């Protein structure tokens, strides 16, 4: 019941069933009444014919002129019957044979129409009329068998029902096609939303039916606001870090003031805190530098983004002459936020470059899951410390000196993406080996061209 198409189809189907059911009943009722009205007209005609055939015999008794009586009334159980009652005589058709029609006498001008069961259980339509003939009150009853009529009406209703059923099925098919065509813009908007999630679009197509145009406009407006706020927040972090560089430089210069010679402990404490601030500021600046420019919610195209990251890191660590070894499946596109993945991979590569001697290896493979692995040939981390580095909620940059810088952020991003982070010693290079496994995001899919 949640599907709009299902609700519309169900509503239209019920309407069609009610409409065709009502039409079937109306046609059946109207055809039956029309046929019975025709029979009633014929019965009236036969009654008047019988009335004109009544004569007085030599004794003054009412009798019928047999030459004016239709032969159908003379054949036994023919389905056509009459009975005439007067004060002087009672006459009945030969077709009744040994059966009887029980009727009430009527005054002149009165008339009744009845449905009764006649000879051999025939369903009869009986008309009783009162007349005045030769100063006598005459009641004439004429009946006709309805069996043939009812059979014909039943066949007509069956054929009509079959025709109506075929027409109903055709209308249901046409209705389904019209609904599909009418809802096609919604399917296009749904595809746009999926493309938006994958980062292939930044706004929904505004060329939609007017019924959903306000919704699309509000979504586009909200996206524009969120993109501006997110970009402003990221830019503000970089601006803040730049703004703090000068005051930090001044504070470090003040640490050399001779006034602090008398308080070496204070000088040491201030130095430690300023170095900590400097490290955090450097990390923020490096994150902003690694992220670079690009749409806020675009996909991560490995063939484009990783070479740019490596080029940036080569420039940052050119004094080390680091050799990057890349094992990346061509055409991998990760349908996740570009900035998150740039921050994730950038921090891991930055950490590897910081502690590597000469080599950093990066591997990115995709099957049903996406696996990222980064290794360096640095000193690595003691095996006893590796188990502590992945503890949930632990500040990883405080648990292992050196390799901890940026790993807390990596841990948070991986948790947000419902992935898995594994730290170990590289079996080939000897330094730290970081393996990140990412599942497919809900409602989207990874693509490999």
pLDDT digits (tens, 9 = 90+) for 58-93: 676 778 888 888 888 889 989 999 999 888 788 888
CA distances from 205 to 8, 208, 227, 253 (A): 25, 7, 17, 56
Look up the domain containing 53 and give its range: 4-150
134 within domain boundaries: yes
Backbone dihedral angles phi then psi of residue 193, each to the nearest 5 degrees: -65, -40
Q: Assign 176 to helix, strand or coil.
A: helix
pLDDT tens digits, one per residue of 181-221: 887 888 788 888 877 766 677 788 888 888 788 888 888 88
- Whole-number Å distance between alpha carbons of 375 and 384: 19
pLDDT of residue 396: 40
Confidence of residue 433 (pLDDT cuts 50, 70, 90): very high
User: What pLDDT was estimated at residue 272?
Assistant: 78
Phi, psi of 304 (to 5 degrees): -100, -40
User: Whole-angstrom Cα distance, residue 259 to residue 267?
Assistant: 10
Q: Report pLDDT for 288.
A: 57
In a domain, 213, yes or no: no
Q: E-strand spans in 173-258?
A: none
Please give the Cα distance from 56 to 59 (Å, whole number).
8
- From residue 336, alpha-carbon distances to 187, 196, 256, 284, 433 in Å are 22, 11, 48, 22, 24
* 3-class secondary-structure state, position 146: coil
Residue 86 lies in a domain: yes
Q: Which of 270, 280, 272, 289 is nearest to 241 (CA)?
A: 280
Contacts of residue 281, defined as CB under 8 A and 6 or more positions apart, other chains included, come to 241, 244, 245, 248
pLDDT cut 90: percent of the chain above it: 15
Q: How many domains does the chain have?
A: 2
Last residue of a domain, one of 129, 150, 171: 150
pLDDT at residue 449 above 70?
Answer: no
> Does 362 map to a domain?
yes
pLDDT at 445: 41
Q: CA-to-CA distance for 49 and 362, rounded, in angstroms?
A: 112
What CATH number is attached to the domain comprising 32?
Answer: 3.30.450
Alpha helices in 255-370 (DSSP H): 264-291, 302-316, 338-355
Residue 151: is it exposed, middle or buried by C-beta count within 10 angstroms (0-12/13-18/19+)?
exposed
Quote the CA–CA distance of 10 and 49 in Å, as a whole number.
58
**Predicted pLDDT at 366:** 84
Reported as a pLDDT band with limits 50, 70 and 90, residue 441 is: low
Identify whether 320 is part of a domain: yes
**pLDDT class for 265, splitting at 50, 70, 90?**
confident
Q: Is residue 286 part of a domain?
A: no
Q: So what's the pLDDT on residue 448?
A: 46
Q: Is there a contact between 141 and 106 (Cβ–Cβ < 8 Å)? A: no
CATH number at residue 304: 3.30.565.10
The per-residue pLDDT for 373 is 95
Both tokens of 44, joined, read 């009236």
Residue 256 lies in a domain: no
Does the pLDDT at position 390 exceed 60? no
Domain boundary among 133, 150, 167: 150
Q: Helix 213-254 and helix 264-291: axis angle, to 10°? A: 150
**Structural domain contains residue 101:** yes
Q: Which of 99, 119, 150 is the last residue of a domain?
A: 150
Dig out the tokens for 311 from the structure. Answer: 């080029």
Question: Average pLDDT, stretch 230-252?
Answer: 72
């Amino acid at each position: 019941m949640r599907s709009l198409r299902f609700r519309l189809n169900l509503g239209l189907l019920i309407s069609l069933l009610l409409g065709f059911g009502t039409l079937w009943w109306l046609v059946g009722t109207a055809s039956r009444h029309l046929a019975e009205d025709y029979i009633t007209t014929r019965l009236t005609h036969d009654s008047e014919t019988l009335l004109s055939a009544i004569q007085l015999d030599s004794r003054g008794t009412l009798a019928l002129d047999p030459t004016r009586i239709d032969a159908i009334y003379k054949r036994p159980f023919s389905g056509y019957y009459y009975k005439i009652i007067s004060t002087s005589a009672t006459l009945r058709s030969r077709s009744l044979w040994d059966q009887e029609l029980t009727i009430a006498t009527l005054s002149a001008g009165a008339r009744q129409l009845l449905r009764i069961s006649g000879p051999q259980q025939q369903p009869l339509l009986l008309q009783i009329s009162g007349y005045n003939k030769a100063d006598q009150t005459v009641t004439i009853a004429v009946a006709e068998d309805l069996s043939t009529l009812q059979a014909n009406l039943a066949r007509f209703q069956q054929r009509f029902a079959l025709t109506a059923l075929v027409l109903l099925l055709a209308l249901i098919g046409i209705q389904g096609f019209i609904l599909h065509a009418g809802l096609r813009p919604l399917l296009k908007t749904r595809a746009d939303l999926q493309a938006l999630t994958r980062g292939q679009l930044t706004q929904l197509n505004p060329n939609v039916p007017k019924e959903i145009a306000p919704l699309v406009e509000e979504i586009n407006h909200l996206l524009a606001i969120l993109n501006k706020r997110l970009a402003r927040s990221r830019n503000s972090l970089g601006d803040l870090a730049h703004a703090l560089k000068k005051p930090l430089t001044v504070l470090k210069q003040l640490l050399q003031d001779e006034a602090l010679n008398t308080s070496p402990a204070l000088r040491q404490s201030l130095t430690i805190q300023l170095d900590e601030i400097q490290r955090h500021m450097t990390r923020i600046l490096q994150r902003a530098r690694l992220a670079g420019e690009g749409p806020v919610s675009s996909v991560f195209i490995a063939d484009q983004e990783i070479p740019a990251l490596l080029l940036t890191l080569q420039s940052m660590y050119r004094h080390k002459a680091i050799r990057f070894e890349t094992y990346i499946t061509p055409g991998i596109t990760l349908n996740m936020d570009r900035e998150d993945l740039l921050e994730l991979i950038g921090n891991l590569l930055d950490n590897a470059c910081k502690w590597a001697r000469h080599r950093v290896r990066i591997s990115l493979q995709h099957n049903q899951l996406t696996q990222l692995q980064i290794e360096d040939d640095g000193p690595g981390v003691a095996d006893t410390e590796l188990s502590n580095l992945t503890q949930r909620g632990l500040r990883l940059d405080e648990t292992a000196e050196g390799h901890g810088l940026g790993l807390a952020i990596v841990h948070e991003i991986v948790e947000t993406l419902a992935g898995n982070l594994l730290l170990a010693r590289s079996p080939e290079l000897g330094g730290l080996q970081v393996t990140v496994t990412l599942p497919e995001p809900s409602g989207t899919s990874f693509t490999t061209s």
